[in-house]
Amino acid sequence: MKHKQVSRPRNSFDPATQPTLGFCDLEPLNPNVLSLDFVRAAFSVQDQIQWQIEPRYAHAFVQRFEDEPSSIRSAVCVAIVERNSEPHIIFTLRADELSHHAGQVSFPGGRVDQTDASAVAAALRETHEEVGIEPRYLEPLAEQPIFLTNTRFAMRPVVSMVRPGYQLQANPDEVAEIFSVPLAQLMDPQQHRIHKLPYYNAQEAVYFSIDWEGRCIWGATAAVVRNLYHYLSAAVTHLGA
């Protein structure tokens, strides 16, 4: 997955310039634990794991699309792939010409169409359309709680394992770049910067950002990463890893 130097998002909001409250003080997950086998095991017992969503975003997560019927249903694929003998997560840099979230870092994904059998089917279809990974190379492991964005999207994350043999091909109409970040880096909360938005809907609000090689992962995408951290942290305890 080729890296290239990327500027901050082209829109008027630059997350890096917003006031910061510092970094999180939670403990990072041990990189030696974060293998593909552990991730698969963690989601194989998801009904047994007691965990809580990111408390700063408790208001922004729901369990079902029906809980927020006025929102636009969408699904993203949190695709975990092995690179250099360690798990990575695949991200995209969205094309500047898109009408929503242009120039931002995202997971592959998009709207749930009426022809999609489920959110999982939508996430796999969109991943194929955006980054070229065929559904047969994706092993869905779990659906995480739905995040409600301030642009009226209800975003269902589908955690999936990428099987060997896949090929990447960015759709230039939607994706400016494909890149990956080591799972261990993302599962280190001390890399998660907390920013303060002075006013949002007349209330004070915060969001997370994670820097990686000149890219800024923030907003809804970073919130999903935070939830994945909370889940895998609880799985470490549950599995005694």
Whole-Å CA distances, 149 to 74, 100, 140, 224, 240? 11, 11, 23, 11, 35
Look at residue 226 and tell me if it is in a domain: yes
* Residue in this structure with the two tokens 């980054």, named with its chain if needed: 131
Query: Do 210 and 195 form a contact (C-beta atoms < 8 A)?
Result: no
| CA separation for the pair 176, 16 (Å, rounded) | 20
Look at residue 29 and tell me if it is in a domain: yes
Q: What domain range includes position 70?
A: 19-239
Residue 22: what pLDDT?
76
Look at residue 45 and tell me if it is in a domain: yes
Low-confidence residues in the chain, pLDDT < 50: 1-10, 98-99, 101, 202
Whole-Å CA distances, 19 to 10, 115, 215? 19, 43, 18
Question: 121: helix, coil or strand?
Answer: helix
Residue 164: what pLDDT?
96
Residue 100: what pLDDT?
53
Look at residue 136 and tell me if it is in a domain: yes
Residue 205: what pLDDT?
76
Query: Do 232 and 42 form a contact (C-beta atoms < 8 A)?
Result: yes
Number of domains the chain is built from: 1
Look at residue 3 and tell me if it is in a domain: no
Look at residue 14 and tell me if it is in a domain: no
CATH of the domain at 231: 3.90.79.10
Say if pTM beats, i.e. exceeds, 0.85.
Answer: yes
Look at residue 75 and tell me if it is in a domain: yes
| CA separation for the pair 13, 23 (Å, rounded) | 21
Look at residue 149 and tell me if it is in a domain: yes
